[in-house]
Structure 1
Amino acid sequence: MFIDKGQLLSSLTQLYDTQITQAVSLYSHPGMGKSRLLQEFSQERTVLYFKAPALPFEEIFSLFQQLCIRRLGTSYENTKKFADIFKLLSKDSVREPVVLILDDFVNWTAANRRFPTMLSSLIQRADPKSRLFVLLCKPASLYEKESPREAASFLLEPFSFFEMRRQYPQMKFEEQILLYSITGGVPAYLQYFPADCCVREKLRELFFTADGIFYRLVEARTREYYSASSVMRAILSAIGTETKKLQEICDYTNLTPSAAGSLLSSLASRNLVSRIVPVTENQGSRRALYLISDGIFRFWYTCVLPYLSEIEVGEGAQVFEKQIVPLLEDYTIRVFPDICRDFLELEEKAGRTPFPMQRIGRWWGQHPTKKRTEYISIAAYSRDNIMLGACFWTEDWLDVDALYDLQKHASLFPDEEQWYYLFSKSDFVSGFETISGNHVHVFSLEKMCRMADEYLSSTI
C-alpha cells in the first residue's frame, strides 16, 4: 500500500498538470521512500530517469547522452552538450509531456558549479509550448539552504506515527508505538517489519543476533560515513536516549565545544542527530539540545552497544529476554510526546488549531524568580500565542489537577495568549473541557488516532 506522505504525490501531480516547462526540487535523506514515490509518480507518464554518479562532468554527460539514445532514439547521437539534449527534450515535450528526473543532482553540481544556473536559464528560455517537467532529487541536508530560493520544492520526511499505523491495522496500540519508537517511521526500516509480525520477536532477530540486519547496519554506516568513527561513536553514546546539552557531550567525550559542534553538524547532515531549540527562539539559540534522531541508531546505542560481546558469542537471545524486554515499556513511553507532536502537525494541516502553530516542539528556559530550569515537553508558538502541552502515559483517567500543574507555567509567558493541550494514553474525566474553558483541549490516544485517521482518509 502506498501512502502519500504529506500529499507529496498529489502536489507533484498538480504541478505536472499545469503543462508548463518547470523545475521542481525533491529533498530526501536515504531510506525515506523516494524511489517508491518516483515510481508512483512515473506511472502512465513519459519519464526519463537518470541517476548521476560521482564522476567528472564530461563523464556524467556522456552517460546521460547514452541513456537518451537508448530510451529516446538516434536523434540524440549528435548532441555535444547538455543544452543540446535539453532543447531536444523540450521539443519532444511539445507533442507529449516529458518528465526528466535527475537523481543525485548534487553530483552534477559538484562536477560543474555553473550547472544549476545553466539549467535554470534553459528552463526560462524554453519554448512556451513545451511541457518538460524537470524533477531534481537532492539531499535533505541542503533543504534549508536552497529551498527558499526555489519556486517549488518538497522535503520527503518519515511517516508520522498516524501514517505508519495505517500500514499495521491489526497491531495493538502498544505494539504500534514500540515499532514507531524503534523505526521513527522511516520506510527503509519499516520494510523489515511485516504487517503481521511480532515486534519484539523482530527486534531480537534484527538487533541481537550476530548476523542481524540492524546489528550490523549501525557499525557499517558509521565506518562508511566517518573516518573518525570512534569519536562519532563516543558522541552518539554520550547522547543515548535523552536530549543532551553541548557541554554534557563535551564532558563525556573530552572534546572541545568547537570540535563537538562540528562533529554534531556532520551527524545532523546524515540525519543521525537533531539540534533542537525552544519553540520561542530561533535556530541560532545557544540553548540548543541534541538528540539521536535516527531510531535505529538510538536503540542500538542504548540497548545493543553494552552487550556486543554476548551477541557475538551467540547469547543475544538471553540478553534480549533478561536485559531488554523489561526496559521496552519505559523505552516506548519516551516516544509518546513525539506522537502528540505528530498529532498537532496534522491538526495544523487540518486547520483545527486555535492559532497558526508555526513552530511545534518543546520549550525550556530559566524561571525568572525561582532560578531553575523549567521544561515543557510539548509547545507550539506563533505571534502573540503559545500552546503549552503535557502528555501522560497512564491507565488512570485524568482530572483537572493535571491541568493545574501545566498552568503553573503561565507566568513564563506573560505577553502571549495561552492555550493548553493535554494528551493521555487513557482518557479524561467527564466534562473536563467544559469545566476548564475553551482554551483547554484534551485528547486520549484513541481520540487522536480516530481524528488522524479521519483526516488522512479525507486527503487520499
Structure 2
Amino acid sequence: MFKGRKKELELLEDLYDSKQFEFLVLYGRRRVGKTELLKEFTKNKKPLFFSAQEKNDSLNLLDFSKTVQTYFDNDFFGEFSDWETALKYVTSKATEDRLVIVIDEFPYIASENKSIKSIFQHTIDHQWKEKNIFLVLCGSSVSFMEGEVLGSKSPLYGRSTAHLELKAFDYFDSALFFPEYSNEEKLMAYGILGGIPCYLQAFDSEKPIEKNIAREILREGRFLKDEPIYFLKQELREPAIYNSIFEAIAGGASRVNEIATKIHEDTQKCSKYLGILQTISLIKKAVPCGEDEASRKTIYKIADNYFSFWYHFLFEKKSFYEILGSEESAKEIMDPQSFFSYFGFVFETICLEYMIRMAKNRKLPFIPSKYGKWWGNNPARKCQDDIDVLLIDDKNEKYIFCECKFKGESFGKSEMEDMLSRKSIFAHAKETYFYAFSKSGFSDYVKENASSNNITLVTVDDLFEFGEL
C-alpha cells in the first residue's frame, strides 16, 4: 500500500487540474519512491508513461515509438525516424482533454542523445505550450536533473513550471510502515533503515526488530545485505573511494583532512567526492548552528541512516557475522549497550525533525531561521562543549536548547543542570527555552523543576502526538 507523500500528491494534482501547459521536473536519489509516487498519482488517470532504460538511443526511441503508438492507436506501425518526429506525432494526437506525459529516467535518454534537451525545448516552445499537456521529466541523477535540466545553461532552463526533489521520509512518516510496532520500536527501525521507502518495506512490523535484522539484512540473498556497496557501484564511477570515505566517517573521521588522511587521498580530491555524495543525500556537511557555511569547524556525517547503520555494524564485521550466523549476529547488534551507543546520534536527528515539525505547526515559541547541532567552547565551563539541537530566531535573540537522551536511565538532575548551563554560551540571548527529550522518562526532580526553568519535557510517545503536516 502506498504511504505518505501527501503534499507531493497535492502538488501533482494541482498541476494536473491546471487549465494550461505544465512541466514538472521530478528527481531524487535511487529508491526514494519517485516511480511509485507517479503511479499513485496516475492510478485513476490515463497517462502516457514511458520509462527509459540504460541502452542506446536507437533502442530507447524504438521503445518510445511502441509506447506512444500503442497508447494512441492501440497498434505499433514502426519506429519513428527520430525524436522530433516522435514528439510531433504526440502533438498531433493531443486533444482538448488533459494529457499526462511521464518520461521516467530521462537521464538515460539524455546521456545517449546530447540533443534531446534541445528537441524537448523546441517542442515545448512551438507545439506544447498552448496544449492541454502536463509533462513530467523524472530522473534519479540529482546532479544531472539540477544541472542539465533545471540549470541556467540547459536548453530547458525556464521551461519547467514546477520542480520537486523527492526526499527520504523523516521519522514520523517512516513510522507509517510499522503499524504493529511501539513508538520506541518505530524510532529504532527508522534508525536502522532510514527514510527510503524501499528499505522500510523490507521490515515486517509483526516480527521483532532483531528478527527482521537477521532475516532481511544479515541473511544471504536479501537485497539489503550488501545494498550500500551495490548502490555505490551503480551510481558512482569510483565506488572503492566512496566506500573508503564511508568507512572513514563511520570510524570517527569527520573533517576533510581526517578523512583524506584515512583514505590516503589528496584533501582537494576528497572534498570533491564528499560534494558528490552530498548531492545524492548520502553525506551531509555540518557547521555549528548559527555559524557561517565556510566555518573552520565544518564536519561531515553520513546522512542516510541505513548507510550509517551498515558501515557502523556490518562493514568491518561482515566475515565474522557470516561465521556467527544471522540470528546470533542480530542479537549482538541489538545488545542495548552497543545499539544505544549508535542510536544516540540518530536520536538527535529525530529530535531535530520533531522540532521542525513543531515549528511548521506553529507550536514552538518562535519560528527558527537556523537550527542544528552546535559545538565549540563553553566559557562558563571553560571546555569544549556541544548542544544536541539548537534553534535560533532570525534576529539571534531567541534560542531553544535541546538535550536528547536515548538510554536506559531516566533524564535526571545532572542532565538538566548541564542543559541549563549551556545558555551561558549565548549570554546575549533575550529569550531562552529548553526541550528535554528522553527515551526512559524523567526523574521526579526534573518533573518538579521543569516548568520553573522553562523546560518542555518530551517523551518518545510525545514525538508522535501531532498529525500529518
Point out where structure 2 has 5 or more consecutive residues left out of the alignment.
152-157
Partners of 1:280 and 1:180 in 2: how far apart?
28
Partners of 2:100 and 2:363 in 1: how far apart?
36
Partners of 2:43 and 2:51 in 1: how far apart?
18
Alignment of 1:276 onto 2:286: yes
Alignment of 1:182 onto 2:192: yes
Q: Is the 8 A contact 1:246 1:289 kept in 2?
A: yes
Q: Aligned pair in 2 of structure 1 residues 412, 250: CA closer, same or farther (>3 Å)?
A: farther
Partners of 2:127 and 2:235 in 1: how far apart?
40
| TM-superposed deviation, 1:63 | 3.0
Q: Is the 8 A contact 2:106 2:137 kept in 1?
A: yes
Structure 2 residue matching 1:396: 3-state secondary structure: coil
For residue 333 of structure 1, what is the amino acid of its counterpart?
G
Partners of 2:52 and 2:415 in 1: how far apart?
59
Q: Aligned pair in 2 of structure 1 residues 119, 214: CA closer, same or farther (>3 Å)?
A: same
For residue 297 of structure 1, what is the amino acid of its counterpart?
F
Corresponding residue of 1:233: 243
Partners of 1:46 and 1:433 in 2: how far apart?
57
Map 1:45-444; keep pairs closer than 5 Å.
Answer: 45-55=45-55, 57=57, 59-73=59-73, 81-90=82-91, 92-126=93-127, 130-139=131-140, 141-142=142-143, 151-225=161-235, 228-240=238-250, 244-313=254-323, 315-322=325-332, 325-326=335-336, 327-366=338-377, 373-385=384-396, 386-393=399-406, 395-396=409-410, 402=416, 405-412=419-426, 414=428, 418-427=432-441, 429-430=446-447, 434-437=451-454, 441-444=456-459
Structure 2 residue matching 1:213: 3-state secondary structure: coil
| TM-superposed deviation, 1:201 | 1.0
Q: Aligned pair in 2 of structure 1 residues 51, 379: CA closer, same or farther (>3 Å)?
A: same
Partners of 1:413 and 1:41 in 2: how far apart?
51
Q: TM-score normalised to the size of structure 2?
A: 0.83
Partners of 2:324 and 2:451 in 1: how far apart?
58
Per-residue deviation, residues 215-248 of structure 1 (Å, max 9, x unmatched): 2333433444556444333322211175712222
Partners of 2:331 and 2:129 in 1: how far apart?
66
Single out whichever of 322-331 and 189-198 deviates more from structure 2: 322-331
| TM-superposed deviation, 1:450 | 1.0
Corresponding residue of 1:2: 2
Q: Aligned pair in 2 of structure 1 residues 42, 109: CA closer, same or farther (>3 Å)?
A: same
Partners of 2:161 and 2:382 in 1: how far apart?
47
| TM-superposed deviation, 1:60 | 3.5
Partners of 1:300 and 1:390 in 2: how far apart?
26
| TM-superposed deviation, 1:8 | 0.5
Point out where structure 1 has 5 or more consecutive residues left out of the alignment.
none
Single out whichever of 111-120 and 24-33 deviates more from structure 2: 111-120
For residue 199 of structure 1, what is the amino acid of its counterpart?
I
Q: TM-score normalised to the size of structure 1?
A: 0.84
Per-residue deviation, residues 88-129 of structure 1 (Å, max 9, x unmatched): 545544431111111112233334455435534543445676
| TM-superposed deviation, 1:373 | 4.0
Single out whichever of 295-304 and 58-67 deviates more from structure 2: 58-67
Partners of 1:108 and 1:432 in 2: how far apart?
63
RMSD between aligned residues: 3.4
Q: Aligned pair in 2 of structure 1 residues 34, 323: CA closer, same or farther (>3 Å)?
A: closer
Q: Is the 8 A contact 1:69 1:76 kept in 2?
A: yes
Single out whichever of 13-22 and 404-413 deviates more from structure 2: 404-413
| TM-superposed deviation, 1:180 | 0.8
Partners of 2:417 and 2:233 in 1: how far apart?
48
Partners of 1:426 and 1:253 in 2: how far apart?
39
Q: Is the 8 A contact 1:397 1:427 kept in 2?
A: yes
Alignment of 1:23 onto 2:20: no
| TM-superposed deviation, 1:174 | 2.9
| TM-superposed deviation, 1:304 | 1.8
Partners of 1:264 and 1:404 in 2: how far apart?
34
Alignment of 1:445 onto 2:437: no
Partners of 2:87 and 2:29 in 1: how far apart?
28
Q: Tell me the percent identity.
A: 21
| TM-superposed deviation, 1:202 | 1.4
Structure 1 residue matching 2:465: 3-state secondary structure: helix
| TM-superposed deviation, 1:193 | 0.5
Structure 2 residue matching 1:376: 3-state secondary structure: strand
| TM-superposed deviation, 1:169 | 2.6
Single out whichever of 199-208 and 77-86 deviates more from structure 2: 77-86
Structure 2 residue matching 1:182: 3-state secondary structure: helix
| TM-superposed deviation, 1:79 | 6.1
Give the aligned length.
452
| TM-superposed deviation, 1:200 | 0.5
Per-residue deviation, residues 350-387 of structure 1 (Å, max 9, x unmatched): 23333333443222345579775432221234421443
For residue 9 of structure 2, what is the amino acid of its counterpart?
L
Q: Aligned pair in 2 of structure 1 residues 104, 417: CA closer, same or farther (>3 Å)?
A: farther
